[in-house]
Amino acid sequence: MPIPNDPNLIYFRKRIRILNALGPYLRENNCQPTSFYFDCFSICIDANIEPEEREFHGWWLEMELVNETFEYHYQFGVYNKAGDWVEKPIPKQYQHDVTKTLNQFYEKLSICLTEQLKFNLKPSSVLAKTLVLSAA
């Protein structure tokens, strides 16, 4: 078996280990050596039904390594019974809480990337200017 010489492959496991320490956000199965996927089930829509049938309001964030900088974009929506994210507006009464979880995560992610992994973080060009996050 050849020895990998791509630095992204070599450091992938290290990045996964460090990003996992941020909390339950990283979805390792959806990650590649230069792209990472995070999500958060912020608000349970109906806690009175069976756990495997529950749906959640929340967000998902994807970031990709482009020229030594991670570019991110995110979306809000519903995590449905089928296990898929569907882009949907968050009901007004939950917007504050869902946005708060995203902002808290972004702050941790920003610190982790810049201080531990030595990468910059910036919004992707596909992200609307009104949705750009900044570290607190």
Span 20-79, pLDDT tens digits:
999 889 999 999 999 999 999 999 999 999 998 999 999 999 999 999 899 999 999 999
1 falls within a domain: no
Give the pLDDT confidence score for residue 42 in this predicted structure: 96
119 falls within a domain: yes
46 falls within a domain: yes
For residue 72, the SS3 value is: strand
2 falls within a domain: no
* CA proximity to 67, closest of 115, 18, 119, 30: 119
82-129 pLDDT tens trace: 999 999 999 999 999 999 999 999 999 999 999 999 999 999 988 766
Give the pLDDT confidence score for residue 129 in this predicted structure: 63
| Residues paired with 36 in a beta bridge | 63
Q: Which domain holds residue 85?
A: 7-131
| Residues paired with 61 in a beta bridge | 38, 74
Domain with residue 85: its CATH number is 3.30.310.230
Non-local (6+) Cβ contacts of 105 within 8 A are 22, 23, 25, 38, 40, 61
Give the pLDDT confidence score for residue 125 in this predicted structure: 86
13 falls within a domain: yes
Give the pLDDT confidence score for residue 69 in this predicted structure: 94
| Residues paired with 87 in a beta bridge | 77
CA 59 to the chain's CA centroid? 8
Residue 92 dihedral angles phi and psi, to the nearest 5°: -50, -40
* Band (136; pLDDT cuts 50, 70, 90): very low
Sign of CA dihedral 79, 81, 82, 83: positive
Number of domains in the chain: 1
Name the one residue in this structure whose structure tokens are 């570019």.
71
109 falls within a domain: yes
47 falls within a domain: yes
pLDDT at 10 over 80: no
